[in-house]
């Protein structure tokens, strides 16, 4: 990361140092997800009236399926089970679907975070102060939303992982996680959206993020950045100096420029970089918070996949489709030995917080 001297001076040494530190961590994430791709599977319950037709069609096509019959007569079925999946049909139906959805959920947030971080940093470097507050504001919303959803996933998986009844476990785990992922994936604020699919108001994300981080200034930054993102006062002053008033009070002068400069107009007209500073402060703070969340949430996704053995139950390949190992071998999640990572039923489930984890991680190249 390199800023032109006048940009670095305008942002101040403190801010450029903070941005440099978070940009170093960010590069690791960017490389991890740059070429990642995955497949999401979504199973639609077949009502009892359609089960016989599905069975006939699958037999005619000589397709392999695994399925669960629910108490109401409906069937939840998946194609392309592996050899192991055919031997354990309930697990083959429940676990790969949820794991592919968890992986897609994480990647979508990671890609959005990467784009917003990069664009905000680039806009600051080019002194595009009309753009930086727009993407910085969106970054606050993204980190707030991801934290909100990740905490729900964390809670659902903690409950599901503690399930001890083998016979009932697959469907119970599926229902626990599916509810959370469906709401996260389909939530919308469009006027046409039904009430049950209404997404959480974005200010809820912002306020909860500020409270959890113990940084009330996040709300102030969001207000200023919103004002600058709209054709309002914040946008008007984004590339202006602070006002200089004649000693008589009769004249006020404000200087505008496309670059960060300080000029003299009779008396000195001070630099007013309020919007640039709030954009930079947001990028440094929410960049760090978002990276912490993404790292810990990926551990959550991997824990589900390795505890359930989801990837071994399907013939489909997808991102983070790791297979469990044994004993002292290195765990596929990249965080140490298998025997210490806790990927087993009844074991501890990972938590997600805004504080950087203390465990050693090695996520690079494990796609």
pLDDT tens readout for residues 56-85: 999 999 999 999 998 888 999 999 999 999
Distance of CA 156 to the CA centre of its chain: 17
- Residue 263 in domain: no
Q: Are 109 and 294 in contact (CB under 8 A)?
A: yes
Tell me, what's the pLDDT at 330? 94
CA end-to-end distance (rounded Å), the chain = 26
Tell me, what's the pLDDT at 122? 97
Residue of 202, 178, 206 whose CA lies nearest to 189: 202
Using a 10 angstrom Cβ sphere, with 0-12 exposed, 13-18 middle and 19 or more buried, the burial of residue 159 is middle
- Residue 66 in domain: yes
Least confident of 3-12, 166-175, 226-235: 166-175
d(CA 71, CA 87): 22
Torsion of CA 165, 170, 175, 181, to 10 degrees: 130
Least confident of 18-27, 224-233, 241-250: 241-250
Q: Are 55 and 82 in contact (CB under 8 A)?
A: no
Q: Which residues contact 266 (CB under 8 A, 6 or more apart)?
A: 244, 246, 253
- Residue 47 in domain: yes
DSSP strand pairing (267-269 vs 263-265): antiparallel
Domain count, the chain: 1
362 has pLDDT over 70 = no
Residue range of the domain that includes 38: 5-233+272-341
- Residue 43 in domain: yes
DSSP strand pairing (244-245 vs 75-79): unpaired
Tell me, what's the pLDDT at 271? 73
Q: Which residues contact 55 (CB under 8 A, 6 or more apart)?
A: none
DSSP label at 63? -
- Residue 85 in domain: yes
- Residue 357 in domain: no
- Residue 35 in domain: yes
Which residue bears the tokens 């959370």? 180
- Residue 30 in domain: yes
Largest interatomic CA distance in the chain:
92
Cα angle vertex 361, ends 357, 364, to 5°?
135
Average pLDDT over residues 203-208: 96
């Amino acid at each position: 990361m390199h800023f032109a001297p006048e940009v670095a001076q305008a942002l101040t040494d403190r801010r450029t140092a903070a941005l440099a530190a978070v940009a170093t961590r960010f590069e690791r994430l960017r490389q991890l997800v740059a070429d990642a791709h995955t497949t999401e599977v979504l199973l639609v319950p077949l009502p009892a009236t359609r089960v016989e037709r599905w069975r006939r069609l699958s037999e005619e096509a000589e397709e392999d399926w695994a399925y669960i019959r629910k108490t109401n007569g409906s069937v939840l079925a998946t194609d392309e089970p592996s050899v192991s999946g055919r031997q354990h049909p309930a697990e083959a139906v429940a676990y790969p679907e949820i794991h592919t959805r968890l992986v897609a959920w994480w990647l979508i947030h990671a890609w959005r975070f990467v784009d917003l971080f990069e664009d905000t940093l680039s806009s600051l470097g080019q002194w595009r102060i009309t753009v930086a507050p727009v993407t910085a504001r969106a970054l606050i919303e993204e980190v707030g939303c991801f934290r909100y959803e990740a905490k729900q996933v964390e809670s659902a998986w903690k409950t599901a992982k503690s399930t001890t009844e083998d016979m009932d476990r697959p469907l119970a785990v599926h229902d626990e996680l599916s509810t959370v992922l469906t709401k996260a994936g389909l939530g919308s604020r469009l006027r046409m959206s039904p009430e049950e699919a209404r997404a959480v108001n974005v200010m809820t994300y912002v306020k909860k993020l500020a409270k959890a981080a113990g940084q009330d200034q996040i709300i102030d930054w969001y207000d200023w950045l919103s004002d600058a993102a709209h054709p309002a006062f914040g946008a008007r002053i984004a590339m202006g100096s602070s006002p200089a008033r004649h000693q008589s009070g009769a004249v006020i002068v404000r200087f505008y420029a496309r670059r960060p400069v300080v000029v003299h107009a009779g008396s000195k007209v001070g630099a007013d970089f309020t919007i640039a500073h709030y954009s930079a402060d947001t990028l440094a703070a929410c960049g760090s918070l978002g990276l912490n969340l993404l790292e810990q949430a990926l551990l959550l996704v991997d824990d589900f996949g390795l505890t359930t053995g989801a990837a071994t139950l399907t013939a489909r390949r997808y991102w983070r489709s790791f297979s469990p190992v044994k004993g002292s071998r290195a765990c596929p999640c990249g965080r140490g030995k298998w025997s210490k990572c806790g990927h087993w039923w009844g074991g501890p489930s990972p938590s997600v917080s805004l504080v950087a984890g203390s465990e050693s991680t090695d996520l690079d190249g494990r796609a």
